Structure 1
Amino acid sequence: MSQIPKLSFAIILIFSLLGCESKVQPKQKAFLALEYQSPSYQLIKSDCPFQFEINQIAKLEALQNYDRCSFNIRYPKLGATIFLTYKPINNNLKALLTDAQKLPLKHTIKADAIEADIYTNNIAKTYGNFYEVEGNAASQAQFYLTDSLQHFVTGSIYFKTAPNYDSILPAASYIKKDLKHIVETMRWK
């Protein structure tokens, strides 16, 4: 009888040593693999002194009680909105520029980086800055455009969620391209 417990013990020991071997592998860093449809743009015509193109997945809403030429461009599936505001220039270009340039600076507390690109289109007479914000800031991109004589437009992206850069990065990257497209297609009437 002493052979059976020794044999059982030996078998259990062998299986324990061989069966419990685990290879520890570190988890890979991963980003959410979201796919968005290729953008298709449509020209927005209105009574405003400008026109531009927006992505067809976006919904344009005119702000009735604010200003007849201010719009919200909503992305319902992405939980984001581009806020677009027009102001006529009435001997106040310097004040408009100062306000538009201060807006990205409000995000420096939470932003990891803010990159400003100068935008110039002499043919369309559109001049301004495009700001890309990295980090947990409330807005991921902003711009202003002007013809320096009559027209001034600002735009910015905001999400309906707490700013967590890693979580909103795919959607923010997609909408930044649309915001750049608005800048590039802006025409004064």
Structure 2
Amino acid sequence: MKKLLYLLVVMCFILFFSCGEDAIPKPKAQLRLEYPQPKYELEAKSLPLTFEKNKLAKTIYQQASNNRQLALNLEYPLLNATVYISYMPVTSNIDSLLRDAQNLTQKHVVKADNIQSDLYENPDRKVYGMFYQVLGNAASQSQFYATDSTKHFLTGSLYFYAKPNFDSIQPAAAYIQNDMMRLMETIVWK
């Protein structure tokens, strides 16, 4: 009987103190990611071209599998991403280089919701290319190629070190896409 009375007192105590204001749900919120304002610097080391890159990105030079190709990575530690860049000289292979660059982008069609392509031309600097924005849960969110069509060919691809989830990485992808477009716009062939 004492146990029943004790249980009744505890339940009354809980009911008495649990009554209060009604619970109000928190308002919906959007994740706000802020990245530093980009500051650009000239990148010219050991490449037959120059371009501007974001100072936030660390440049890592790679030795490519063949001696004709040069490779470098622009690593964004803050964003957990890397832009992989490859340079190849053009001999009589411009058609195959263009086909390979376009096919690399088309491989993402399986997972992509849409691929938007923007033609880039700068006749004064002899830079012609294409910038691809891959929408959806594809492995690469952006790719580009640039060439003068006679001597130089450059490709770049953006990859994140995370499972592709477009909604989550979209702000970081947009930030780096701006850097990639700036890179294309500032190319000067040597």
Distance 2:42 2:27 in 1: 46
Aligned partner of residue 70 in structure 2, secondary structure: coil
Distance 1:160 1:72 in 2: 14
Residue matched to 2:111: 110
Aligned partner letter, 1:158: Y
Residue matched to 1:165: 166
Residue matched to 2:135: 134
Deviation at 1:69, TM superposition (A): 2.5
Determine what percentage of the aligned residue pairs are the same residue: 47
Residue matched to 1:47: 46
Deviation at 1:64, TM superposition (A): 2.7
Aligned partner letter, 1:161: A
Residue matched to 2:95: 94
Aligned partner of residue 102 in structure 1, secondary structure: helix
Residue matched to 1:150: 151
What TM-score results when the alignment is normalised by the length of structure 1? Answer: 0.84
Residue matched to 1:188: 189
Aligned residues: 173
Aligned partner of residue 46 in structure 1, secondary structure: coil
| Structure 1 spans left out of the alignment, 5+ residues | 1-15
Distance 2:129 2:64 in 1: 27
Residue matched to 1:74: 75
> Is this contact kept in 2: 1:88–1:150, CA < 8 A?
yes
Deviates more, 1:19-28 or 1:169-178: 19-28
| Structure 2 spans left out of the alignment, 5+ residues | 1-15
2:31 aligned with 1:35, yes or no?
Answer: no
Deviation at 1:31, TM superposition (A): 3.6
Aligned partner letter, 1:153: L
RMSD: 2.1
1:50-75 per-position Cα deviation (integer Å, ceiling 9, x unaligned): 11111001100000354662100000
> Is this contact kept in 2: 1:62–1:68, CA < 8 A?
no
Distance 2:30 2:150 in 1: 45
Deviation at 1:47, TM superposition (A): 2.6
